Amino acid sequence: MWGFYFNELIRSLPFFLKGLWMTVAVSGLSLIAGTIIGFVWGIMRSSRNKILRSIIGAWVDLIRGTPFLVQVFIIFFILPSAGIELEAFPAAVIALTNMGACFICEIVAGGIMAVPSGQREAATASGLASFQQLRYIVLPQALRTILPPLVGQYVLIVKDSSVVSAIGVVDVTRVGWLTVQRIPEGLMVFGLVGLLYFAICYPLINLSNLLERRMTVVATKL
Amino acid sequence: MLEGFNFRVILEYMPLYLQCFSATLWLSALSLLGAIVVGTIACAMRLSASRLSARIAGVYIESIRSTPLLAQLYFFYFGLPSLGIMLPEWVTGIIALTLNSGAYYAEIIRAGIQAIAYGQIEAGIASGLNYFQRMRFIILPQALGMTIRPMLGQAIVLVKDSSLLSLISIMELTRAGQLLTSDRFMPAEGFLTTAAFYLVIYYMLKGFSGGSEKRLIFREAH
Domain carrying residue A209: 14-221
| DSSP letter for each residue of B55-117 | HHHHHHHHHHHTS-HHHHHHHHHHHHHHTT----HHHHHHHHHHHHHHHHHHHHHHHHHHTS-
**pLDDT given at position A61:** 93
The mean per-residue pLDDT over the stretch A175-200 comes to 93
**pLDDT given at position A58:** 95
Residue of chain A whose alpha carbon sits nearest to that of B176: A70
How far off is chain B from A37, nearest CA to CA, in Å? 23
What interface predicted TM-score (ipTM) does this complex get?
Answer: 0.90
**pLDDT given at position A222:** 45
Q: Do B194 and A70 touch (CB under 8 A)?
A: yes
Which member of A69, A79, A201 has the closest CB to residue B66?
A201
| pTM, to two decimals | 0.90
What is the per-residue pLDDT across A147-177, written as a single tens digit (0 to 9) for each?
999 999 999 999 999 999 999 999 999 999 9
Q: Do B164 and A69 touch (CB under 8 A)?
A: yes
What is the per-residue pLDDT across A23-59, written as a single tens digit (0 to 9) for each?
999 999 999 999 999 999 999 998 888 999 999 999 9
Which member of A62, A78, A194 has the closest CB to residue B67?
A194
Q: In sequence order, which residues have a C-beta less than 8 Å from that of residue A102 and are 6 or more positions away?
A: A38, A41, A59, A60, A63, A64
The angle at the Cα of A212, spanning B99 to B142, to the nearest 5 degrees, equals 65
Any B CB within 8 A of A159 CB: yes
* Number of folded domains that form chain A: 1
Task: Give the up-direction half-sphere exposure of residue A160: CA atoms within 13 A in the CB hemisphere.
Answer: 29
**pLDDT given at position A3:** 83
What is the per-residue pLDDT across A73-94, written as a single tens digit (0 to 9) for each?
999 988 887 778 788 999 999 9
Which chain B residues are within 8 Å of A193, Cβ to Cβ?
67, 71, 74-75
**How many pairs of residues across A and B have Cβ atoms under 8 Å apart?**
140
**pLDDT given at position B214:** 62
Whichever domain contains A20, its CATH number is 1.10.3720.10
The answer to the question of residue A67 being in a domain is yes
Reference A76, options A173, A163, A157; nearest CA is A163
The answer to the question of residue A6 being in a domain is no
**pLDDT given at position A107:** 95
State the CATH architecture for B16-218.
Orthogonal Bundle (1.10)
**Tens-digit pLDDT profile for chain B (222 aa)?**
556 678 888 888 999 999 999 999 999 999 999 999 999 999 989 988 889 999 999 999 999 999 999 999 999 999 998 888 899 999 999 999 999 999 999 999 988 888 887 888 889 999 999 888 888 888 778 877 788 889 999 999 999 999 999 999 899 999 999 999 888 888 888 999 999 999 999 999 988 877 766 665 555 544
Q: Do B71 and A198 touch (CB under 8 A)?
A: no
Q: Do B74 and A81 touch (CB under 8 A)?
A: no
How far off is chain A from B206, nearest CA to CA, in Å? 9
How far off is chain B from A151, nearest CA to CA, in Å? 13
Which chain B residues are within 8 Å of A154, Cβ to Cβ?
none
